[in-house]
Amino acid sequence: MNIKQRNDTRRHKETSMFTRTSPSNGSGSPEVTGFYDADTGSVMYVAADPATRQAALIDVVLDFDAPAARTRTDSAQQVLDFVKEKGLTVAWILDTHPHADHLMASAWLKEQTGAPTAIGEKVREIAVLWRELYNLPDAFDPDRDFDRLFADGDTFRLGDIEVRVMLSPGHTLGSVTYVMGDAAFVHDTFMHVDSGTSRADFPGGSSKDLWNSLQAILSLPDDTRLNVGHDYPPVDGREDPAWEATVAEHRAHNKHIGGNVTEAEYRKLRDERDATLSLPDRMLHALQVNLRGGRLPAAEADGNRYFKIPANRF
């Protein structure tokens, strides 16, 4: 659980999905509900403006059975069921980066809601990198497949709440953080306080860039609620997933970067740990979907869709 436990927690009996709601702290502060996807260790979010009941869906998962290469929409549907139950209107479908460990549900969510999809503008550069890795020179057109590509410093509105976009590279070269009042969605930068930070060894990643991104996030006000992208319990005796802690809590207690850790010490720790990690088991499937905004590759002449997996590249 969080160091400061102030949330409403429940587990959905029909799916065993773990959810927790962090209430609004007043005008300009969103209500944030996280949905934990145990299959990938990912956290999906519904951020809602209490005044207007407008909501943003953030980093929602498209379920994927890797051995069968089959997709499902169970998790995304559960998020939409929650939105309906709470009387919310979906205003934005947001992703923080092209995820390596899960397929994004953004295209399907747009079909269901009509809301625009968005991601950071440097996804264009990530697309160039992965066209070469997949040997698909004509694949991936982010300007076509997302409705909005945000630049660093861009702002937009979620009801009465102004949202600011921060470029937060390191895990990928184009990751972005969404700052909504006293809540920030910091994706694969921080992990929970007792777990540390995220890896920086994927193509285009950099522990130096990640250090700088972490420092920028830690410059937000102390009481900002940081909502991370992943958790992998059990951790040091903690059995339940956890994903929210404040800037002040991370600055003081984060396992990798809390206290007086120097950049050199952090980068040594991060690089040495990353060298021991294997690729996520669905990464090579996920990137060719996520760089299409959550769409599968186009159907071929027989009407079926096929993944292309590079051999011996990693």
Contacts of 25 (CB under 8 A, 6+ apart): 182
Main-chain phi, psi angles of 167, to 5 degrees: -70, 125
Cis peptide bond N-terminal to 280, omega within 30: no
* Both structure tokens of 203: 């193509």
Write the burial class of residue 311 (CB in 10 Å: 0-12 exposed, 13-18 middle, 19+ buried). Answer: exposed
Give the Cβ contact number of residue 198 at 10 Å: 24
If you ran DSSP here, which 8-state letter would residue 96 be given?
Answer: S
d(CA 88, CA 262): 44
d(CA 64, CA 47): 24
CA dihedral 90→140→277→226, nearest 10 degrees, is -30
Task: Give pLDDT tens digits along the chain (314 positions).
Answer: 333 333 444 443 334 589 999 999 999 999 999 999 999 999 999 999 999 999 999 999 999 999 999 999 999 999 999 999 999 999 999 999 999 999 999 999 999 999 999 999 999 999 999 999 999 999 999 999 999 999 999 999 999 999 999 999 999 999 999 999 999 999 999 999 999 999 999 999 999 999 999 999 999 999 999 999 999 998 888 999 999 999 999 999 999 999 999 999 999 999 999 999 999 999 999 999 999 999 999 999 999 999 999 999 98
Closest-CA residue to 129 (of 108, 98, 158, 155): 98
Angle in degrees, CA 302, 304, 310, rounded to 5:
115
d(CA 253, CA 213): 18
Angle between helix 263-274 and 207-218 (nearest 10):
130
pLDDT score recorded for residue 187: 94
pLDDT score recorded for residue 13: 33
pLDDT score recorded for residue 16: 55
pLDDT score recorded for residue 4: 35
Write the burial class of residue 151 (CB in 10 Å: 0-12 exposed, 13-18 middle, 19+ buried). Answer: exposed
pTM for this entry? 0.94
Q: Which domains does the chain have, with CATH numbers?
A: 9-278 (3.60.15.10)
pLDDT score recorded for residue 15: 43
* Both structure tokens of 58: 């953030």
Give the Cβ contact number of residue 26 at 10 Å: 9
pLDDT score recorded for residue 12: 39
